[in-house]
Structure formats: structure tokens, C-alpha cells
Structure 1
Amino acid sequence: MPRNSRSSTCRKAINSSADLFHSATGKAADKELDRIDQLFYSYASNSSEIMYPEGIESLCSDLEVDHTDVRILMLAWKMQAEKQGFFTMDEWRKGLKALRADTISKLQKALPELENEVRRPSVFPDFYSYAFRYCLSEEKQKSIDIESICVMLDLVLGSQFRPQVDSFVQYLKSQNDYKVINMDQWMGFYHFWNEITFPSLSNYDPNSAWPLILDNYVEWLNSE
């Protein structure tokens, strides 16, 4: 057989194999997406393509996770869910495809891996920022009340900074200067506990650009 004919035959065989591979891969992806959709509809309204709070509570029950567990917030982050207590079909697809989870058992197994991902120093600030935005229930809302912030601090930072969170929550509940917290203050809390030694606060510099509420907290702590 001439050399050119052999090369042409080889290319055709390779292209045919590649086409078969892509076809099989595409079919597998379609089946996975179908299973993800079916799982969604087992908790959501078929007509609106939205999973409502009661559906999410049922999902949590099947996952054997409390609906207030931080991993549910992490799941919402993975979906980039926009409205607290609701998952849309598109959000659900985005999150579960990324987690490679198309059944409840796979989603259960994915949660510890998701938590490990979120806890990475390079990822956590994005999750922490998302947690604040996720709690904004009104379209133009820019701040969150103190009581809700205390709950969020406990949920999001409690496992990493337990003594700090307990102390700061005590301060927030005792002070009267602030009724709400904005995003800059919220992000400042994380950077403060990530950088300042507790409980000595030995590396705290009052001339640094900390939110005023943190300067007030340090004064409160020193007066205790």
C-alpha cells in the first residue's frame, strides 16, 4: 500500500475513534444531566422550576444534614444561588455538575469534599463574602441586622475562630452603636481574626485601617 494511503487510513481510524469517544462522552453527560434534573424535580415545583424552602428542608432531611448546617450554605455557594432559601434549576445544575453528584448518596459523599474546598485559604474569602450577599433579602439591601450577623459569624467562622467569635458576638450583643453591619465591616471581621493574635491582640495597630467597629471592640475588650 502506498505510504500516503496508509497515512490516510490511519487518520480516518483515529478520527473515527475520536468521534465514537466524543459521542459516548456526550451521551454519558446527557444522562448525568437527566438524573440531576430528576433529582431537582423530586424537591422542586415542576411548573416554576424553583426549589422552595420546604423542598430544601426535605433535601436536607434526605442528606441527613440540618438545614442550618454550614455545608448547606457551601452548597448554595457552589451553585451561586442568588436568593436565600431558593434554588433555581440553572443553579442546581451548575452546582451538582461541578460536584459530579446526580444522586442523594453522591451528594452526601460530595459534601465533605466541598467543605475541604471551601476551607482552603485561597477559596474561603470568596465563600465568606458570598455568605453576606446571600443573606441580603431585599434587592437594594446593603446591610444586615446585628442579630443575623451574630448567627452568621457563628455559622461561618465558628469552627475556625471559636474563642474570637464568642467574644465578638458578646460585644455585638452588648453594644448600642451599631444596629446593622455592611459588607466592608463583614470582610473586616474575617481579616481581623485572620491577622490579629487573640486574646492578647499584641499585633493590633490602632492606626491601621480597621473598620471603626473593630477599634471599638478592642477598647471594649481591654476594659473587661
Structure 2
Amino acid sequence: MPRNSSSSTCRKAINSSADLFRSATGKAANKELERIDQLFYTYASNSSEIIDPESIESLCSDLEVDHTDVRILMLAWKMQAEKQGFFTLDEWRKGLKALRADTIVKLKKALPELETEVRRPSVFPDFYSYAFRYCLTEEKQKSIDIENACVLLDLVLGSQCRPQVDSFVQYLKSQNDYKVINMDQWMGFHRFCNEITFPSLANYDPDSAWPLILDNYVEWLNGGK
């Protein structure tokens, strides 16, 4: 057989195999998406096409986690859910496709892996900032009241920086200068936990562009309680 004819036959065979692979992959992806959608409508109202807070409680029950569990917030982060307590179909698809979870059993198994992903130092700051934005429930809202900020700090950062969180929460609840926390202050505390030796505060430099609330917090620590 001429060489060109042999090469052509080989290329056709390779292309045919590639086409079959793409077709099979496409069908599998479509099936997965169908199952993800079916799972969504297990919880969502067909009329509103949205998973609401009551439905999320049902989801949490099926996942055997409390609705206040930080992993539910991590799940919202994975979906990039925009409105607290609500999941749209597009958000649901985005999150569950990324987790490769098209059944409740798979989603339950994915939660520990999701937590491991979020806890990575390269990923956590994005989750930490998302947690703050997720709690901005009103249009044009830019800050969170002290009470909710304390709850959120304990939820997202407590397991990693327990002494700092407990101390800062104590300060926030005892002071009268601040009624709310903004994003700059929120992110500043995360930086504080990562960079400052605690409880000695030996390397804290008030001239290093810290939010004023942290200067006041350090002064409170140094001045006695």
C-alpha cells in the first residue's frame, strides 16, 4: 500500500476514535448535568426555580450537617451564590459540576474535600472575603453589625486562629466606638492573624497601615482589660 494511503487511513482511524471519545464524553457530561438538575429540583420550587432558606434546611438535613455548619458557607462559596440563603440553578450547576457531585451521596462525600480545598493558604483569603460579602444582605450595604461580625469570625476563622478570634470578639463586644465592621477591617484582621505574633504582639507596628480598629484593639490588649 502506498505510504500516503496508509497515513491517510491512520489519520482517519485516529480522528474517528477522537470523535467517538468526544461523543461519549459529551453524553456523560449531559447525563451528569441532568442528574445535577434533578437534584436541584428535589429542593427547589418549580415555580420560583430557586432553593430558598427552608429548602436549604432540607438539604442540610439530607447532608446530615447543621445549617450553621461552615461547610454550607463553603458550598455557597463554591457556587459563588450571590444572595444569602438562596441558590439559583446556574449557581447550583456551577458548584456541583466543580465538585463532581450529581447525587446527595456524592455531595455529602465532597464536603470534606471542599473543606480541605478552602483551608489551603492560597484559597482561604478568597473564601474569607466571600463570607463577608455573602452577609451583605441589603443593596449597597458595605458593613456588617458587630454582633453578626463576631458570629461570622467565629464560624470562618475560629478553628484556625482561636486565641486571636476569642480575644478580638471580646474586644468588639466591650468597646463602644464601632457599631459595624467593613471589608477593610475584616481583611485586616485576617492579615493580623497571619502576620502578628500572638499574644506578645512583639512585631505589631502601628505605622504599617493597619485599620484603626486594630490599632485600638492592640492598645486595648496592651492597656489591660
1:6 CA displacement = 1.0
How far did 1:222 drift?
1.3
CA offsets 1:23-79 (integer angstroms, 9 cap, x no match):
000000000000000000001111221000011110011001111011110000000
2:81 and 2:161 mapped to 1: Cα distance?
26
Q: State the superposition RMSD in angstroms.
A: 0.7
Structure-2 separation of matches of 1:113 and 1:165: 25
- Measure the CA separation in 2 of the matches of 1:197 and 1:70: 26
Question: Matched residue pairs, number?
Answer: 224
Shift of 1:91: 0.2
| Partner-residue secondary structure (3-state), 1:209 | coil
Q: For 1:5 and 1:206, locate their aligned partners in 2 and report how far apart those are by CA, in whole Å.
A: 77
- Counterpart of 2:43 in 1: which secondary structure? coil
How far residue 5 of structure 1 moved from its aligned partner, in angstroms, is 1.1
Structure 2: give runs of 5+ residues left out of the alignment.
none
Distance in 1 separating the partners of 2:71 and 2:208 = 34
How many Å separate the matches in 2 of 1:181 and 1:151?
12
Letter paired with 1:140: K
Q: Which amino acid aligns with 2:179?
A: K
Q: Which residue is 1:211 aligned to?
A: 211
Structure 1 spans left out of the alignment, 5+ residues: none
Partner of 1:146: 146
Matches within 5 A, 1:107-118: 107-118=107-118
**Alpha-carbon distance in structure 2 between the residues aligned to 1:60 and 1:45:** 17
Measure, in 1, the Cα distance between the counterparts of 2:192 and 2:118. 19
Displacement of 1:142 after TM fit?
A: 0.5
Q: 1:124 corresponds to which residue?
A: 124
1:12-91 matches, cutoff 5 A? 12-91=12-91
1:100 paired with 2:64, answer no
Distance 2:4 2:215 in 1: 78
Question: More displaced, 23-32 or 202-211?
Answer: 202-211
Partner of 2:168: 168
Where does structure 1 differ by over 3 angstroms across 4 or more consecutive aligned residues?
Answer: none
Q: TM-score, normalised by structure 2?
A: 0.98
CA distance in 2, matches of 1:24, 1:206: 60
